[in-house]
Structure 1
Amino acid sequence: MLNKGLRDQEKIRIDNVLKTLHSLVFVPEKAFDQDQIEEALKDFGLNIESLVSISTNDLIVLLERLHLDWDQLEQFADFLINFSKENQFNFKEKAISIYNYIQTESKTFSFGIFNKIAATKAKLNEK
């Protein structure tokens, strides 16, 4: 377990990586800069190719080992959804699994996450 100071530093580092990832996929009408996304994912020990090939369970274990809290896990799942929108990659199933993991393991029901799961499943059924 990390002590309070290290835990705070780690939280700040993870938050900064997540902000970078979100800023790269929330750019309207602009192609994602995959090189920048790859660079940001390196902080999680990932790249786009490994994100495609990693199993959902292994991804969740990796994110746990990186000490992502519930909010950060949700932000990572949000990133996966947004990265899937205008891209050849489809990470929606992995995002749904992360949302379900949060609902189950946090022992707190969130209507926000419940709605994200429903919306993502609806998008999956459209295609």
Structure 2
Amino acid sequence: MLNKGLRDQESIRIDNVLKTLHSLVFVPKKAFDQDQIEGALKDFGLNIESLISITPNDLIVLLDRLHLDWNQKEQFADFLVGFSKENQFDFAEKAISIYNHIQTESKTFSFGIFNKIASAKANL
């Protein structure tokens, strides 16, 4: 378990990586750079190829191991949905698994996440 100072630093680092990923995906069509996304994913020990091949459950385990909190996991799932919309990749199933994990494990029901699950399922 991380002490409070290290946990805060780790949380700030994770937030910065997630902001980078979101800024690279949520831009006008096809304007994002796949190499920059690869670089940001590297901070999570991932790349696009490993993201394609990892199972949804293994991805959740990895996110847990990286100490992402519920909000950060939701942001990562949002990134997966956004990246899927603008690319040839389909990470909707992985995003839905993360959203479901958040709903069940956080023991807090969120209508926002419920709506994101419904939206992601509609785009499958």
TM-score if structure 2 supplies the norm length?
0.98
Matched with 2:72 is 72
- Residues 94-124 of structure 1 show CA distances to partners (whole Å, capped at 9, x for unaligned) of 0000000000000000000000000111111
Aligned residues: 124
SS at match of 2:96: helix
Matched with 2:27 is 27
* CA distance in structure 1 between the aligned counterparts of 2:92 and 2:29, rounded to whole angstroms: 21
* CA distance in structure 1 between the aligned counterparts of 2:29 and 2:122, rounded to whole angstroms: 23
Displacement after TM superposition at 1:28 (Å)? 1.0
- Residues 41-98 of structure 1 show CA distances to partners (whole Å, capped at 9, x for unaligned) of 0000000000000011110000000000000000000000000001010000000000
**RMSD (Å), alpha carbons:** 0.6
* CA distance in structure 2 between the aligned counterparts of 1:13 and 1:91, rounded to whole angstroms: 23
Matched with 1:98 is 98
SS at match of 1:88: coil
* CA distance in structure 2 between the aligned counterparts of 1:73 and 1:6, rounded to whole angstroms: 19
Q: Is the 8 A contact 2:29 2:86 kept in 1?
A: no
Matched with 1:108 is 108
Unaligned runs of 5+ in 2: none
Which runs of structure 1 show a deviation greater than 3 angstroms over 4 or more consecutive aligned residues?
none
TM-score if structure 1 supplies the norm length?
0.96
* CA distance in structure 1 between the aligned counterparts of 2:103 and 2:97, rounded to whole angstroms: 10
SS at match of 1:68: coil
Unaligned runs of 5+ in 1: none
1:92 is matched by which residue type in structure 2? A
* CA distance in structure 2 between the aligned counterparts of 1:91 and 1:32, rounded to whole angstroms: 17
* CA distance in structure 2 between the aligned counterparts of 1:56 and 1:13, rounded to whole angstroms: 23
Q: Is the 8 A contact 2:25 2:83 kept in 1?
A: yes
